[in-house]
Amino acid sequence: MKMKMKMTKYFSSASTTTTAGLVLLLFSAAAAAYPLPHHRHHPRFASHNYKDALTKSILFFEGQRSGKLPPNQRITWRRNSGLSDGSAMHVDLVGGYYDAGDNVKFGFPMAFTTTMLSWSVIEFGGLMKGELQNAKEAIRWATDYLLKATAQPGTVYVQVGNANRDHACWERPEDMDTPRSVFKVDQNTPGTEVAAETAAALAAASLVFRRSDPTYSNTLVKRAISVFAFADKYRGSYSNGLRPFVCPFYCSFSGYQDELLWGAAWLHRATKNPTYLRYIQVNGQTLGADETDNTFGWDNKHVGARILLSKAFLVQKVQSLHDYKGHADNYICSLIPGTPFSQAQYTPGGLLFKMSDSNMQYVTSTSFLLVTYAKYLTQAHTVVNCGGTVITPRRLRTIAKKQVDYLLGDNPLKMSYMVGYGPRYPQRIHHRGSSLPSIASHPAKIQCSSGFSFMNSKSPNPNILVGAIVGGPDKQDRFADQRSDYEKSEPATYINAPFVGALAYLAHSFRQL
């Protein structure tokens, strides 16, 4: 069961102006800001096989697929499911992803997952080598569904399945017999945050397919434009109109302003249409561009929007977005231990810790933002100044690598929190399909309530959901590996999505020992 974790606001502030006395220091720091070159005599070695982890982080998405599975499906213990999704409202909503360990399709986290997978490919796809095609297929599985969900103008279908009824069962997606209720937002029941996130996902994905499939890319960006216009025109939170169905699972606590800024930022990047730049210039302040909420995840996109828009200033030299470099720097300064503005908490073992429920999603999203902002800073030959402490791009990459390494096994328990990676990883993840016998081994239907005998057993899951990243340890680095503890043991698509980009960077930059 996935319950909504409340977003905590972290205050940070940092000076982004540099005094004359700092100029020389900044100049020399910028010169040192690049990753070490791959000289024959100075390779950088890694204790982890990032390439293997990258492969598995993408493979995971095949285990989360809903709908009719393709012939090249690699996680073979999964079979077709949800083939009549949408029929309750006479629409085709077959496909897409189950968000986590249950059998509901929640549109809000699915769209964010799609945006982050796309951003991973946009920034680091060139480093993915043989995995680029698999990453694109993972994105397309989502966008094909999001195109179906937005096919009717002025409507976005945002959920398939009744979460409360679903959570009362423990059954395979292939067996599910709980109501496949369909929920939508429209002008009468607005859902600005979910619609704007869907627009962001479609816009970001259009960039992924621009060269390889320009027709598909064009379809995505056109749909993104119309969905964003709907989100902006009919404002309101879907947590209000659909409260009994989306709460407490994926309520939006951060409001919808962050998604409007984020959606506009992605449309600006995808279309280069000055309309979106003007929208950001006029509305940025009221949409919370300078707020001090420093938690980036499926609910709150402010930090992601700041990093994304800082690129337009740093690399494309869009002077009117100058402030976003400062906003992005504030976020970075809040993360760096020992700086005057540090707000982040870390476990004794060094893991970034935001909250007890699914903390690893913030570890993966933060790691991605660190390597991405480091890339932008390097391209612009600049650094971050945290109250007189100069933070180079290399320092950001070092922090990100430490978080990734912790997740992969460099931690007090020597436990990899990615299933199937390393010698020791979670065996009892909170995931119905993984924990129940597969169709191949048990063809007969497993009824709703009889599945709980498997859920409550101490046995390891029979099906390995390769690449799944679980919620992770507590703030004291403890992890019990209990199936019932969904806060720690449940995987989710939005935990993996940003990790794909971080791993692609590290796989390219470090050789395995």
Classify 268 as helix, strand or coil. Answer: helix
Identify which has the larger pLDDT, 98 or 46: 98
Give pLDDT tens digits for 445-466.
Answer: 999 999 999 999 999 999 999 9
Using 50, 70 and 90 to split pLDDT, how confident is the model at 289? confident
Question: How many Cα atoms sit within 13 Å of 393 on the Cβ side?
Answer: 20
Q: Determine the Cα–Cα distance for residues 205 and 219; give it in Å rounded to an integer.
A: 10
The model carries a pTM of 0.91
Determine how β-strand 155-160 pairs with β-strand 182-186. Answer: antiparallel
If 0-12 CB within 10 Å is exposed, 13-18 middle and 19+ buried, where does residue 194 land?
Answer: buried
For the cut 90, the answer to whether the pLDDT of residue 293 exceeds it is: no
Does residue 363 register a pLDDT over 80?
yes
- DSSP H or E segment with residue 186: strand 182-186
What's the pLDDT at 21? 38
Confidence of residue 10 (pLDDT cuts 50, 70, 90): very low
- Boundaries of every domain in the chain: 20-512
Per-residue pLDDT, 513: 55
Closest listed residue to residue 254, CA positions, set 192, 163, 186 = 192
Cβ–Cβ under 8 Å, residues 364 and 406: no
458: left (phi over 0), alpha (psi -120 to 50) or beta: alpha
* β partners of residue 385: 390
**How far is the C-alpha of 229 from the C-alpha of 223, rounded, in Å?**
10
Burial of residue 79 (number of CB atoms within 10 Å: 0-12, 13-18, 19+): middle
Tell me the C-alpha distance between 328 and 501, whole Å: 19
pLDDT of 11 > 60? The answer is no
Q: Which two tokens stand for residue 198?
A: 């869907």
What amino acid positions are annotated as catalytic residues? Answer: 430, 481, 490
DSSP-assigned beta bridge partners for residue 511: 45
CA distance 409 to 49: 11
Give residue 339's pLDDT band: very low, low, confident or very high (50, 70, 90): confident
Which ranges of 409-463 does DSSP label H, i.e. alpha helix? 432-435, 452-455
pLDDT at 32 over 80: no
Report d(CA 239, CA 236) in Å as an integer: 9
Residues composing the chain: 513
Neighbouring-strand partners of residue 512: 46
Which pLDDT belongs to residue 27?
Answer: 38
How far apart are alpha carbons 212 and 247 in whole angstroms?
39
Q: What percent of the chain has pLDDT over 70?
A: 90
User: Which CATH number is 20-512 given?
Assistant: 1.50.10.10
> What's the CA gap between 410 and 368, in Å, rounded?
18
> How many angstroms separate the CA atoms of 156 and 200, rounded?
14
Q: Enumerate the β-bridge partners of residue 186.
A: 155
Confidence of residue 44 (pLDDT cuts 50, 70, 90): low
125-164 burial, b if ≥16 CB within 10 A, otherwise e?
bebbeebbebbbebbbbbbebbbbbbeeebbbbbbbbbbe
Q: What is the pLDDT of residues 491-507, one digit of tens each?
A: 999 999 999 999 999 99
CB atoms within 10 A of CB 512: 12
How far is residue 301's CA from residue 284's CA, in Å, rounded to a whole number? Answer: 13
| The pLDDT of residue 46 | 67
Task: Name the residue with tokens 């900044």.
Answer: 26
pLDDT of residue 5 exceeding 70: no
Mean pLDDT of all residues in the chain? 91
Residue range 66-110, pLDDT digits in tens: 999 999 999 999 999 999 999 989 999 999 999 999 999 999 999
What's the pLDDT score for residue 311?
96
